[in-house]
Chains A and B, each alone.
Chain A
Amino acid sequence: DAGVIQSPRHEVTEMGQEVTLRCKPISGHDYLFWYRQTMMRGLELLIYFNNNVPIDDSGMPEDRFSAKMPNASFSTLKIQPSEPRDSAVYFCASSYTWGPSGYTFGSGTRLTVV
């Protein structure tokens, strides 16, 4: 398996623009997580899905953020409109059940909003 695949690896956009981040989880994993990592706040859970259904989106900072998982092999995180304070590294991770063998993280998308 190629692991969790995220795209793009880097994204630079202007304030106010829409940004879409993409994730392909590991086949067979039933949980998918979106995290954001910054120096100040570390790793923060934004939202997670179980069997393609959003379970907890309490970590989503504002209504500008939305996430979807239309099928077991694809998820998106959208920010509209983007703001400079959204600049961070966004990680997607997946796991089998609650993750006793740990989560498998993607390589992340580094987002810069100017």
Chain B
Amino acid sequence: EDQVTQSPEALRLQEGESSSLNCSYTVSGLRGLFWYRQDPGKGPEFLFTLYSAGEEKEKERLKATLTKKESFLHITAPKPEDSATYLCAVQRWAGGTSYGKLTFGQGTILTVHP
């Protein structure tokens, strides 16, 4: 069974204090690893898709990296508006354009204090 474990469960940072969130996974044939951001009272918002080990993607203060067993979301010099829950998900390989099962982690609640 596919599994996604995120750590830590919660992280408090001071504005400007860089850190990383971890997503450890096991999946039968990885098609893609996704990162989402979720604000209170809203649906998850897509951030990145990573496909293979060694791949990196960046967006503003966020950088996501991928190895064969885990992914990291690095946050550089965070601001209070980066406070949110960050969700990681893995999608199992399926043929062609078919949907493969997507498994979400429980998320990391990030709070950035001014």
Whether the pair B49, A101 counts as a contact (CB closer than 8 A) is: yes
The range of chain B's interface size is 20 to 34
Report B36-88 residues with CB < 8 Å from chain A CB. Answer: 36, 41-47, 49, 87
In the complex, B94 has a CB within 8 A of chain A: yes
A to B CB contacts below 8 Å, 18 in the list: A42-B106, A42-B107, A43-B87, A43-B104, A50-B99, A55-B99, A93-B43, A98-B94, A98-B97, A98-B98, A98-B99, A99-B99, A100-B32, A100-B49, A101-B49, A102-B49, A105-B43, A108-B42
A31 to B97, CA, bound (A): 11
A45 to B105, CA, bound (A): 13
Whether the pair A98, B31 counts as a contact (CB closer than 8 A) is: yes
Number of A-B contacts (CB under 8 A): 52
Hey, which chain A residues are within 8 Å of B34, CB to CB? 99, 102
In the complex, A97 has a CB within 8 A of chain B: yes
Hey, which chain A residues are within 8 Å of B100, CB to CB? 98
In the complex, A91 has a CB within 8 A of chain B: yes
In the complex, A34 has a CB within 8 A of chain B: no
Hey, which chain B residues are within 8 Å of A106, CB to CB? 43
